[in-house]
Structures are given as structure tokens and as C-alpha cells.
Structure 1
Amino acid sequence: MQTKALMWMVFCFGVLCSTVSWSSPSGEDDTATVAPPADLKLLNRSVMVFRATLLGETPEFRARRAKTVISEELDEMGEHLVTLEPIQGSFMVLIGSRRAFFVFPKDVDSLEYDSVKAAAEGAASKLRQVVAESQEARSLRLFLQDAGICLLATLLFAAFLRGGFFVRRKLLGEMRRLMPQHVKALKVAQTQLVDAHYLYSLVSRTIDLLGWALTALVTYTWLSFVLSRFPYTRPWGESLNAYLLNAVGYLLESILDALPGLGIALAIFFIARGAVGLSRRILRRMAAPGNVSWLNQETLSPTTRLMAIAIWLFALAMAYPYLPGAGTDAFKGLSVLIGLMISLGASSVIGQAAAGLILTYTRTLRPGEYVRVGDHEGTVTELGMFTTTIRTGLGEVLTIPNSMITGTVTKNYSRTVQGPGYVVDTTVTIGYDTPWRQVEAMLLEAAQRTQGILSQPTPQVFQTALSDFYPEYRLVAQAVPSQPRPRAELLSMLHANIQDVFNEYGVQIMSPHYQFDPKHEKWVPREKWFAAPAKEPDEE
């Protein structure tokens, strides 16, 4: 009784000293001299973390003193009962009849009685576990029993690894035998989609990945089980088990938390899919003749795609906050990176796409029309969003960016003709001493001799310029598109017929240039105005 009373007096005096605030003469803050916390560890298990300083005893000194007392008590034989006694808002932990350590409010950073009591009970519970484990460590029977269990677990672990490698080898062998037979069925028309060799390599690597993941999980479980069987390593095994359970719990909790948002995102995408189908049907009805002038069969396809893209982009923007991981820094960083890449690299792409839309909705070009873009001419075979493909009559296929077409003058030889076909034109320059009526008649006769040039509408000859030395004649005619002859070949035949006709009538094709005035005047007398094959008006 006297010893217990003395302990009470020492404790009360320590509490009084620890709660009184002393001011240093220099006015410095005493918090700068607070000792760091110390962890009381016994048999590799953390029992209590001391933070308060009592009667000049730092947390580290208190931890060493408590460890010494507990170790001395555990070295003695007998039952070591751990009890807890409250003392003026604090608690004293006893092991047997000896004081192990005190738990003060400052040790738990709380002045609430319940918090201090909970911390003291937790420390006492851990100390009881240390006592039980110390007794277990001294038992040879329990040690041999745990060693046998660990040996059995190790044998099962080794058998699992060997069985896993055996199953992998058998499975890959069976796949190697059966895969060539089943891969032949994976065809589209006559094209083999997947080669058996590459498919086998992909499947084998997938199986290896799953096997190593399962091996790592089983190894982790075996290691935590073996460590948990012995008292000294049991805290490590418990830590491994707790980490695995926390990871699995965190994963399951994340999945459960993401399910409502994922459900909303899926609902948004299903609604968007229905809206795309509805818009497609509405636009198809609006494209019927007589409804909307700018929407026809030519602009229906790009308009449908643009409407679908707009709906899906809107759906993505609406569903983005509900996607799993949308609020994480990694997801935000990836979004910023994608946006930066698009802003830096998509300016020319967007310009080409805008030019393609302009060509589509202004109907500047249509597939099948013969056009001239800058120095290139040919038949339009494909009008895409970014480029336009033109096939020339010389066996060339030109791919022209749409921005180039919108930025230059485009000649369309098929748009102004009467009915189907395209315009064929050529230019010659003849001196002033040749009657213009004769030149026009010869050009028209050459057009009549050329197969593929229509007689209706009638070919026409225009005098497009009266230059200093010669007039310029331009023959304009219409060709039949059903003829399997490209425009370049048709022009070649027309030029050949023009040369033949001019040679037959003795007219030289030339563009004269003078260095001095000729001796005779270069003019055409009236009697030569209607030289053959030209005809006078009364003869027609």
C-alpha cells in the first residue's frame, strides 16, 4: 500500500509539472525544445507512441524505461496480467504488479477523456498480445507446429507453381495444334484476317501475363501466411495482409463508387446513339426533292456525318464528369496534353476540312465533272473532306488539297453544257492575211471530223483577241461523256484534224512577228473573203 501511495504522489507531481507553463527569461518559445515522439516496440510490434515529456523524461527515455520493465517482467516465469488504472484523466498500464508506462492526454494530442481511454486500452491490448506471443515463442511444441504448417504451405506453394507451369505448357501445346484449323474460319470474303503465328504469339503472351500475375498473388499470400505463423515476424505478415486487404477494399470501393457515374455515362451514350439514328432519318427525309434547297443527295452524306460528330462530341462533354477517374490529376493532365496536341497540330487539318465543307455545300465540284484547277485538269473522281482526287487523261491521278482549290480559280468544263458531257476548247493564232471566215470554217470542219464531239449543240468559234500580229481563234465544242475516250485523247485528235484541214486548204498555221514592214500590205481582198471552205450567206 505504501508503494502504491508513493506512485500516486509521484504521478500527481509529474502531472503538475508537465501542465505548468514556464516562461524563459529571454522570452523564447519553449515549443522549439519539444522532444520528438518515440515508439515502444516489443517483439517487432508497436505497442505505444510516446509524445509527452514527464518530469524531464523525454518520450525516448520513457520508451526505453517501459521496454526495460516489460522485458524484465516477461523474463520471469508465471502469468503476466496486464491491467489498466485511471489516474486524474490519464491511465497507468500495469504488467503484473509493476508499472509499465503512463498514457497522458499529450500522448494522444487530445484532452478528451474518451480519446485517452481508447488509446490506453489499445496499448494495453497490444501489450497483452506481446505477452501471449512471448509465451508462444518460448514453447518448443508451438514452434515445431508452426514450422510444420509452414513447411506444408511451402510444399503446396511449390506444387501450385509446378502445376501452373504444367497447365501452361499443355494449354499452349493444345492451342498450337488447334489454332491453325480455327483461324482459317476468320475470313472476310477471301482475306485472312489473322495469321495463326501472330495470334498464337498474342495469346501465349496473354497467358504468360495472367500466369505471372497469379503467381505473384499466390507468392504474396504464401509469404504473408508464413510470416504470420511466428511471433517475431507476425507483425510483418499482418502488415502484408492488411495492405492486400486495403488494396482489394480500395479497388472494390472505387468500383462501387464509379458504378453510378458509369451508369449515367452509359445512359448518355445510349441517348446519343438514338439521337444519331433519329437525325439520320430526319435528314434523309429533308433531302427529298422540294424540301430544302441546300440539302440533297450530294450533301446528305457529309451533313449526316457532321450531325453525328456534333452529337457525339456533345455527349462526350456531358458524360466526361461521370467517367471513372475524370477528377484525378492524371486524367486532367492527359486531357490537357490531348488538347495541346490538337491545338498545335490540327490547324491545317481543320482548314482542309473547312475547305472541303465549302466545296461540298457550294457545289463547286462534283464527281464525274471535268475541271481545271490551276495548272491541273481532269475528271473529278472523289471529293473528300480533306482532299479531292482528279484523274487526268494522261494516266495520272492527282490528289489536290481542298484549301488549294478554294484559293485558286477553278474551271468547270461540265457545269454549263447542255445535257451530259463536257466542254472541249482549243486556241490557234493565224496571221491577218488569212480570211477569218476561212479560219472559222476550217476549225468547224475539224470539229466535225473528230469522233466524240457532238454536232448539237453546234461547235462555235470565237475571236477572243486581235493582237498586234495576228487574231486569236478559239474553238469551243461539247464532248460526249459516254465515249470511252478521255479529254486529253479527244483534244489530241482534234488538234490532228485541225492540222489536216489547214494543210488541205493550203493555210499555214503560224503566228507571224515582224521585224520591219513588208513590201506588200497584209490584207484580204473582198473576193477572197469566202475562200473555201467558207460559204457566202446566200449559198447557205
Structure 2
Amino acid sequence: MRSRAFVWCMMWWGILWSAQVFALDPLATTDSAQPAQSTANLKVANRTVITFRASLLGETPTLRARRANVVIGEALDSNDELSVSIDPIQDSYMVLLGGRRAFIVTPGDVDPLEYSSVMQAAQGAADKLRQVVAETQEARSLHLILVDVLACAVATALYLALLWGLGYLRRKLLGWLPAMMKRHAQALKVGETPLVEAHFLYPLISRALRVLSWVLVALFSYQWLSFVLSRFPYTRPWGESLNSYLLDVAAYLFHSIVGAIPGLGIALAIFFIARGAVAFSRRLLKRLAAPGTVSWLNHETLQPTTRLTSIAIWLFALAMAYPYLPGAGTDAFKGLSVLLGLMISLGASSVVGQAAAGLILTYTHTLRPGEFVRIGEHEGTVTELGTFTTRIRTGLGEMLTIPNSMITGAVTKNYSRTVKGPGYVVDTTVTIGYDTPWRQIEAMLLEAALRTPGVLADPAPQVFQIALSDFYPEYRLVAQAIPSQPRPRAELLTMLHANIQDVFNEYGVQIMSPHYAFDPRQAKLVPKEEWFSEPAKKHDNT
């Protein structure tokens, strides 16, 4: 009682002395009005008791922490039984250690994130100070230190045993894995074809086991270190921080997973609805593609229309489910969205143009697979009409891949669209001088066409005079042929040109292609007896 009365007297004396000083100094202000310039942690025996955030009676937080540390150290150096208590002082609380003032907790020292009142902050600081007193007494006990050392030795032995057992289990699993994988791989077959190749799967599983073993080693090491540090008074705060950090991470992951379940449920419901809508639209479009239902929807446009409808439904579902996905509101998710949008805007302009050109070709029916076309300087049979490119096969065996944007920007000649029945249109052009009767030229061209195998007599070939140039008229022979593949067409066109040369040689008419410059002294003709000069050989079909 005498010590407590002495403390109260000293406290009131300090308050009166401070009041006189502040009354004499007109520039002095109250501590409550003085803003805290810094913070200082009161750390005793490696444990933080309280963080001072405000000045008190002219003392900065650093000076307060230093004075409190000296008082607590002197009290701990004594062998007396120390008790910790708190006494209220107006709106503050004084923490006593063995009857001596250790420090004062003011309203400015309260951390609003940790405590809600000054009393709670003082009580928390007192509890930590009691723990410091108990740990100091524990550190001075040889018996307790030996018990802690024995516990650490047992924990270390258990830790090493777990590491050895983990390595032993991993080696055993790697030894059993080939035979087990081979047995199960033989069982998983479709007919005679195995679904899983064991020699490809073994490296993947072995790496997965290695990663899992290292994760377990790290977890065991973390737990061993936290246990060893928690056994000794000085390092106990470090061990407690390790344990609390691991528990905080586990709690954060657990709460994040639990909190994400409702959003995932809504997202899954949206995706299931989108899946049903895709199936419904597929069946509906298939019915609308029946003849006589919708003019623009047929068997050619059904597949791209179904694909576009499915893509639109899934994109709409993704936009609806995006806010409910875990992490959708985080800065990382937003940054990833911005990055993807930037990549698409910079690199997908040509892709979008090609896709739009492919849709134009599909819905305008410009090309169909199997048709013989000429696109710019390229001629061949359409083998595939894709979203971004179109493939044609030429008569020389070449496979050309042409971008769809190039097709929409060029003149396309379709030799298979206007024919009568199967086949395609074949044509060629010759130029003959004005001194040759045009009726004779037309008759010779028709005769050459009828001599060519594959050229149809019905519809009959036709000859058109397409130009009257300065030195010669131009004649175009147009006929319909049966073969629709590129190679037979090239062979047919070769035979047609050969027959035209033979017929014109038989009737003594000189071909002026490619250009007429002047009349030669002698006509450029090949006598029939020289048609098969060496090394040429006469064929049965000529």
C-alpha cells in the first residue's frame, strides 16, 4: 500500500510540474494536440510488448520505449516475484510491474486495427508483459532448458525419420511405377490400340512425385523449425510468427475457397445453361436447313452458321460468368484482361479480316469444294473452303493455300457453276490474220474440239470472236468437258491445244499467236510427214 501511495504521489507531482511548465511556456501545446511524428516498439526479451505512437509529457515514443525498457529490465533482474497490473489514469492506463510503473498507455497509442479502446490496448500490453516475465523465469531455470533441449532432439530425430521415410517411399513408388503402369496400360485399350503409352507417361509421373516430395520436405522443415524456435524463450516469438503465418495462409486459402463456392456455382449454372442453348440452337438450325425452309441456310452454310452461333452463345456466357469467377475483381485479373485485349487488338486485325472474308465467301456461295475456278493467276479445283484460307489443287499437282481476303479482292472465274450437268468449262484463245476466212477458222476450232477426248458434243462447243485487233482477230473456243479433277483437265487442255495445231497444219493455216508483227515470206507450217519426227512417236489416239 505504501508503494502504491508513493507511485500516486509521484504521478500527481509530475502532472502538476508539467502544468506549470506549460503555463509558463505560451508556445507549448497539449500532447493530445501534438501529432505523433514516429512510432517506437517496446521490445523486451525479443518480444514486442506495445507500440508507442504518441508523445507523453514531452517524451517522444522512442524515449518512452527506452525508459520503459530500463524499468522493466531492472525489475526482471531482481529475483522477486513480479506481478503485472493496470491502473486507470483519467483517459489513460498505467501498467505496473511489481508495484513499479512500467509504462503508460494513452489513447494515441491505440491501434484501431488491433484494439477498439484504450483499456483493451492496456490489457493486451499487460498480458504480453506477463508472458515476458514467465519466459524470463523459464530462461533462468536449468531444468526447463534441459527439457526444451530434449524436446528439440526428439523433434529433430522425428524430422530426420520423416525425411528418410519420404525418400524411401519415393524410391519404392518409382520402382513399382513401371510394372504398374504397364499392367494398367495393357488394360486400357480401344481395340488393339492402347490409350496410354507407358514410356511417355513415366517421366511425367516421376517429375510429379519429385515435386510432391520436395513440397513435403519443405513443409516438414517449416514445421520442425517453428517447433524448435518455439521451445526457447528468446526465439519463441519467431516460432510463433512462423506458426501464425502458416495458419494465416491456410485460413486465407480456406476462406477464399469457401467464399468462391457461391460464385463458382453461379458460373457453372451459366455454363450449363449455355451448353443447353448451344444444343438447342444446333437442332433448330438443322431443322431450318431443310429444303424450302430458309433460303440462305442450306447444307453448305449450316456448319459455319452453327459454329458462329455456338461461339456467340459461349462468349455471352463467359461475359455473364466473368464477375462470378474467383479473383475476377483483383488487379492481377484486370491486368491479364487488359493484356489479352491489347494482344487481340494489335495482332488479330488480319485474322478478323480473313474470317470475315471467309464468311462472305461461304454465304455468297462464291466457291464450293469440287468446283474448278481461276483466282487471279491461279487455276485449279477447290478442295477446302476454310474460315481463313481456301485450298485449291492445280493440274500440275500443286496445292495452293490462298487467303480469303485475297479471293474477295480479286476476280474469280468459276468454270463449274454454269455448266449443263457434271463437268466444267474449258476454253482457249488463238489469233489468226485477217487474210484467213473466219468461217474456216471457226470450223477448224470446232473440229479440233470434237477430236479431243473428254470434250462433250452436247452442249456443242462454240467459237466467239472476242476482239478485232490491229493486225488480227481473236477467237475463243469454249466447250464443256467431263473430268472435274485438276490433273485430267490439264491433260485435256494439252490435247486440245495439240489438236488445234494439227488441224491448222492440215488446212495450211498459220497461227499468229501470241502476236502478229508482219507477214513472213513463207507460212510457218509443219508438213504432216514431219509431225512425228524423232524423238516424237505416233500415239494411237492421234
Q: Which of 146, 149, 154 is the matching residue for 2:148? A: 146
Are 1:222 and 2:224 an aligned pair?
yes
Contact preservation (8 Å) 1:91, 1:117 = yes
Alignment deviations for residues 106-151 of structure 1 (CA, whole Å, 9 cap, x no partner) = 33278xx981211111111111111211221122221111111111
In the other structure, the counterpart of 2:409 is 407
1:471 Cα deviation (Å)? 2.0
Give SS of 1:232's match: coil
Distance 1:510 1:57, change over 3 A: closer
CA–CA separation in structure 1 for the residues paired with 2:79 and 2:485? 116
Question: Structure 1 counterpart of 2:142, which letter?
Answer: L
TM-score normalised to structure 2 length: 0.88
In the other structure, the counterpart of 2:61 is 59
CA–CA separation in structure 2 for the residues paired with 1:513 and 1:109? 103
Q: Which of 398, 409, 424 is the matching residue for 2:426? A: 424
205-214 or 69-78, larger mean C-alpha shift: 69-78
Written as runs of structure 1 = structure 2, the 5 A alignment for 1:279-294 is 279-294=281-296
Give SS of 1:486's match: helix
1:426 Cα deviation (Å)? 0.9
Question: Structure 2 counterpart of 1:75, which letter?
Answer: D
Distance 1:338 1:17, change over 3 A: farther
CA–CA separation in structure 2 for the residues paired with 1:17 and 1:408? 100
CA–CA separation in structure 2 for the residues paired with 1:255 and 1:283? 41
Residue identity over aligned pairs, in percent, reads 70
180-189 or 63-72, larger mean C-alpha shift: 180-189
CA–CA separation in structure 1 for the residues paired with 2:24 and 2:379? 98
In the other structure, the counterpart of 1:12 is 12
Which 5+ residue runs of structure 1 have no aligned equivalent?
Answer: 519-540
Alignment deviations for residues 149-206 of structure 1 (CA, whole Å, 9 cap, x no partner) = 1111110100111111111111112223444555567778888776544422222111
1:34 Cα deviation (Å)? 5.2
1:341 Cα deviation (Å)? 0.7
Written as runs of structure 1 = structure 2, the 5 A alignment for 1:182-261 is 182-183=184-185, 196-261=198-263
CA–CA separation in structure 1 for the residues paired with 2:431 and 2:128? 112
Distance 1:228 1:514, change over 3 A: closer
1:25 Cα deviation (Å)? 6.3
Contact preservation (8 Å) 2:3, 2:99 = no
Q: Which of 40, 43, 48 is the matching residue for 2:42? A: 40
Are 1:75 and 2:77 an aligned pair?
yes
Are 1:171 and 2:173 an aligned pair?
yes
Contact preservation (8 Å) 2:397, 2:487 = no
Contact preservation (8 Å) 1:443, 1:475 = yes
In the other structure, the counterpart of 1:523 is none
CA–CA separation in structure 2 for the residues paired with 1:507 and 1:83? 130
Give SS of 1:398's match: strand
Contact preservation (8 Å) 1:18, 1:54 = no
1:427 Cα deviation (Å)? 1.2
Distance 1:408 1:185, change over 3 A: farther
Distance 1:200 1:483, change over 3 A: closer
Contact preservation (8 Å) 2:395, 2:486 = no
244-253 or 168-177, larger mean C-alpha shift: 168-177
Distance 1:485 1:234, change over 3 A: closer
Question: Structure 2 counterpart of 1:369, which letter?
Answer: E
In the other structure, the counterpart of 2:360 is 358
Contact preservation (8 Å) 1:18, 1:53 = no
In the other structure, the counterpart of 1:501 is 503
Question: Structure 2 counterpart of 1:468, which letter?
Answer: D
Contact preservation (8 Å) 1:15, 1:54 = no
CA–CA separation in structure 1 for the residues paired with 2:393 and 2:493? 16
355-364 or 448-457, larger mean C-alpha shift: 448-457
Alignment deviations for residues 371-394 of structure 1 (CA, whole Å, 9 cap, x no partner) = 001111110010011111011111
285-294 or 66-75, larger mean C-alpha shift: 66-75
Distance 1:49 1:465, change over 3 A: closer
Q: Which of 368, 371, 379 is the matching residue for 1:369? A: 371
Contact preservation (8 Å) 2:461, 2:478 = yes
1:482 Cα deviation (Å)? 6.3
In the other structure, the counterpart of 1:309 is 311
Alignment deviations for residues 307-337 of structure 1 (CA, whole Å, 9 cap, x no partner) = 0111111111111111111111111111111
CA–CA separation in structure 2 for the residues paired with 1:484 and 1:344? 39
Q: Which of 119, 130, 133 is the matching residue for 2:132? A: 130
1:481 Cα deviation (Å)? 3.2
1:86 Cα deviation (Å)? 2.2
114-123 or 359-368, larger mean C-alpha shift: 114-123
CA–CA separation in structure 1 for the residues paired with 2:262 and 2:117? 37
Question: Structure 1 counterpart of 2:430, which letter?
Answer: V
CA–CA separation in structure 2 for the residues paired with 1:471 and 1:430? 6
Give SS of 1:333's match: helix
Question: Structure 2 counterpart of 1:155, which letter?
Answer: A
CA–CA separation in structure 2 for the residues paired with 1:209 and 1:303? 46
CA–CA separation in structure 2 for the residues paired with 1:380 and 1:342? 31
TM-score normalised to structure 1 length: 0.88
In the other structure, the counterpart of 2:454 is 452
CA–CA separation in structure 2 for the residues paired with 1:87 and 1:484? 104
1:24 Cα deviation (Å)? 7.0
1:223 Cα deviation (Å)? 0.8
In the other structure, the counterpart of 2:524 is none
Give SS of 1:297's match: coil
Contact preservation (8 Å) 1:17, 1:55 = no
1:98 Cα deviation (Å)? 2.6
Q: Which of 315, 324, 327 is the matching residue for 2:326? A: 324
Give SS of 2:117's match: helix
Aligned-residue RMSD, C-alpha: 2.9
Contact preservation (8 Å) 1:272, 1:311 = yes
1:262 Cα deviation (Å)? 1.2
Which 5+ residue runs of structure 2 have no aligned equivalent?
Answer: 522-542
Contact preservation (8 Å) 1:423, 1:478 = yes
1:514 Cα deviation (Å)? 5.9
**Count of equivalent residues:** 516
